[in-house]
Amino acid sequence: MDELGPAPPSSEITSERHYLRRREFLRNAGLFTATAATVAGGLRFLTSGRRVTDRKGKDAAAPTALDVAKRLEEAGGEEPTPERDVTTYNNFYEFGTDKSDPAAYAAQTLRPRPWTVTIAGEVEKPGEVDVDQLLRWFPLEERVYRMRCVEAWSMVIPWVGFPLGDLLRRVGPTSRAKYVQMTTLLDPEQMPEQSGRVLDWPYVEGLRIDEAMHPLTLLAVGLYGKTLPAQNGAPLRLVVPWKYGFKGVKSIVEIRLTETEPRTTWSLAASNEYGFYANVNPAVDHPRWSQATERRIGDLRRRPTLPFNGYGEQVASLYGGMDLRRLF
């Protein structure tokens, strides 16, 4: 008895009833945990969308630094939205409809180099140009712009690019050129969701020629001083700061000057919700939500949306005499 040490007090002895049920108890504890984990995991699977994965390596083209010749601040001195938010919260349906999809998938399949842009339609000098050649044609500028999404959120983004007008002047629009149509790459291997039918592919956007020639209208090749990440529309995208973000067609392969108004993707998908002009306008609500206010990414409170996204002084004259309620 001494070798075994003192006997445990009787109060610590497991009762026979519980001793005999220990297996059942353990099994029930296990099944309880499994049930709770299944319910919680199932809910997470069904409701939280896909996670933003941290991208490391394996990218077809990691962003590289760009030489910027001059800077233009056009966001009223506001602090730019953090780069992480700009590059992980994107609408780029070619890679999925979730905001985190483009950051998770675009860099894995999109090959932004080599990249050819076709200049076509009503121009004196049609042809094809490599995107790196395009970058050498024009000095790159940094432009800090507000970006207002049609979904009522907004960002401040330091783009790098050159005015679309500079390119148009170089290729020489003919007298019949009234509009500029821009088209995204069509290649389901590089853009897997083009196999689906969420939208009519390829994505097409367009501007009236005077809008396209406006000095604020930018062809962006980078942001935050580096080449565009795939999810932001590498290697070349449109930025029109006084219009809703969906006008900013990404990964452009063709710029075509036309005599007639281009049939643009969102206006074809839902003509009562998305117009050709898509100027930011707090007075014209989206049929399903208000455009009067917006949330700047990073802010808690909403702020009033400004006409033409605050660029009215520069661009309102383009629309003199137009009924912007009808031509939204």
Query: Site residues (CB under 8 A) for other proteins?
Result: 16-17, 20-21, 24, 28-29, 31-41, 43-44, 46-49, 52, 81, 84-85, 88-89, 93, 97, 99-100, 151, 153, 198-199, 269-270, 285, 288-290, 292-293, 295, 297-298, 300-302
Of 135 and 147, CB closest to other proteins: 147
Asked if residue 176 lies in contact with residue 232, where contact means CB atoms within 8 angstroms, the answer is no
Of 24 and 79, CB closest to other proteins: 24
Distance of closest approach, residue 36 Cβ to other proteins, in angstroms:
4
Secondary structure, 3-state, 158-176 = EEEEEEHHHHHHHHCECCC
Distance of closest approach, residue 268 Cβ to other proteins, in angstroms:
12
Distance of closest approach, residue 282 Cβ to other proteins, in angstroms:
12
Of 136 and 288, CB closest to other proteins: 288
How much is the CA Rg of the chain, to the nearest whole Å?
27
Asked if residue 93 lies in contact with residue 151, where contact means CB atoms within 8 angstroms, the answer is no
Distance of closest approach, residue 85 Cβ to other proteins, in angstroms:
4
Rounded to an integer, what distance in angstroms lies between the CA atom of residue 296 and that of residue 147?
9
Of 69 and 198, CB closest to other proteins: 198
**Pick from 242, 236, 253, 244: which is nearest to 217 by CA?**
242
User: What torsion, rounded to 10 degrees, do the Cα atoms 286, 290, 294, 295 define?
Assistant: -110
Of 60 and 199, CB closest to other proteins: 199
Distance of closest approach, residue 265 Cβ to other proteins, in angstroms:
10
- State which H helix or E strand residue 180 sits in: strand 179-184
Cα 127 to chain centroid distance, Å, stands at: 29
Omega before 114 cis (within 30°)? Answer: yes
Distance of closest approach, residue 299 Cβ to other proteins, in angstroms:
10
Cα 7 to chain centroid distance, Å, stands at: 71
How many residues are there in the chain?
328
Of 36 and 65, CB closest to other proteins: 36
Of 66 and 75, CB closest to other proteins: 75
Distance of closest approach, residue 44 Cβ to other proteins, in angstroms:
6
**For the residues of 294-313, what is the DSSP string, one character each?**
EEETT-SS-EEPPGGGGTHH
Of 266 and 319, CB closest to other proteins: 266
Distance of closest approach, residue 210 Cβ to other proteins, in angstroms:
30
**Pick from 120, 236, 219, 119: which is nearest to 164 by CA?**
219
Q: How many CB atoms lie within 10 A of CB 169?
A: 11
